[in-house]
Amino acid sequence: MVELASGLILGLMAKRSKQKPPRKKPRFLPPFVAANARDRRNLYVLLAAVVTVYCLTFSSVPITNIDDQLMLTSAVNLVETGDLAAPTRVATKRIGGQFFGKQAESGEVYAKYPPGYPLILALYLPLVRLMATVFGTLASEIMLCFPSVLALAATTAVLWRAALRLGLGSDNAWWPALGFALGSFAWPYAGINWSEPYQALLIAASFYCLLAARQEEAYWRRYVLLGGCALGYAILIKATLVILAPILVLGAAAVWRQRLPVRDASLRAALFAAPAALA
């Protein structure tokens, strides 16, 4: 009996050993193979240097005009009341000869800008309030610049990856990224609480997704959809960015496969344009 039981156990163990190993969970996006581990470490060093330069050159007045105040006040009102709008008590204030908000014929006051950037600011407000409580008002004002700093650093990384996908090589991909971060008009925006850094990030991300969709054929649907979402949220930040939609939609249509060009072009353009149309 003992020999029979041991034989059955050994048989079961042998059967289990022959079973296929469990499948790995599929990745949402493929690994970025255009850069090796050394290149990625160098990118982190570059981003740390850029953020350090930005922090050392902060403006002492992150809120500079009525537009900044309007978006920040809308974010504060969202956190406090759940209403994404400038409160009536301040929306009718006149600052520098301009009204804080716009007044409809019905008498209702509404903000002049879409809700995209106030939603981003609302994520930072708890940290801003903590900094104000612990370190004072100046620290909270400096913290208001961090959304811009993070957006510009992320845009630098996106441009670096795009340069690698375009074939510039690891030795040359740094230059367009560094040129954007410290050699363009992007630098002054690091110390001001404006929405332009996030506009640049989302437009760059939209272009990058179209580029990746052409090179990563197995993941083209995800890349095209992500690119459309980036463009859609950019429009939620600045409505006039809708002017870029036609050229980017054409770019999505241009990454078709040779086997079914008409169907693929239509499908990719529609998939890319859907988030922008919803925005």
pLDDT digits (tens, 9 = 90+) for 51-86: 999 888 876 555 555 666 777 777 777 777 777 666
pLDDT bucket at 168, cuts 50 / 70 / 90: confident
**Burial profile 59-96: b = 16 or more Cβ within 10 angstroms, e = fewer:** beebbeebbbbbbbbbbbbbeeeeebbbbeebbeeeee
Q: Which residue has the tokens 């090179």?
A: 215
Q: What are phi and psi of 201, to 5 degrees?
A: -60, -45
Res. 44: pLDDT tops 80: yes
How confident is the model at residue 220, as a pLDDT?
Answer: 83
Res. 48: pLDDT tops 90: yes
* 89-145 per-position pLDDT tens digit: 665 666 555 555 555 455 555 566 778 888 888 888 888 778 777 777 666 777 777
* 236-259 per-position pLDDT tens digit: 998 889 898 888 888 888 766 655
How confident is the model at residue 276, as a pLDDT?
Answer: 78
How confident is the model at residue 156, as a pLDDT?
Answer: 95
How confident is the model at residue 200, as a pLDDT?
Answer: 94
List, in sequence order, the alpha helices (H) in 57-107: 66-81, 88-91
Which segment, 17-21, 158-162, 266-270, 273-277, is predicted with the most confidence on average?
A: 158-162
| Residues 111, 121: Cα–Cα separation, whole Å | 15
Element holding 109 (H helix, E strand): strand 109-110
How confident is the model at residue 14, as a pLDDT?
Answer: 53
Task: List Cβ neighbours of 168 (8 Å cut-off, separation of 6 or more).
Answer: 176
Q: Which long-range contacts (CB under 8 A, 24 or more apart) does 119-125 make?
A: 119/75, 119/78, 119/84, 119/236, 120/147, 120/198, 120/237, 121/71, 121/72, 121/75, 121/147, 121/193, 122/75, 122/78, 122/79, 125/75, 125/76, 125/79
Cβ atoms of 196 and 206 closer than 8 Å: no
pLDDT bucket at 164, cuts 50 / 70 / 90: very high
How confident is the model at residue 106, as a pLDDT?
Answer: 52
Mean pLDDT across the chain: 77
pLDDT bucket at 233, cuts 50 / 70 / 90: very high
Q: What are phi and psi of 95, to 5 degrees?
A: -125, 120
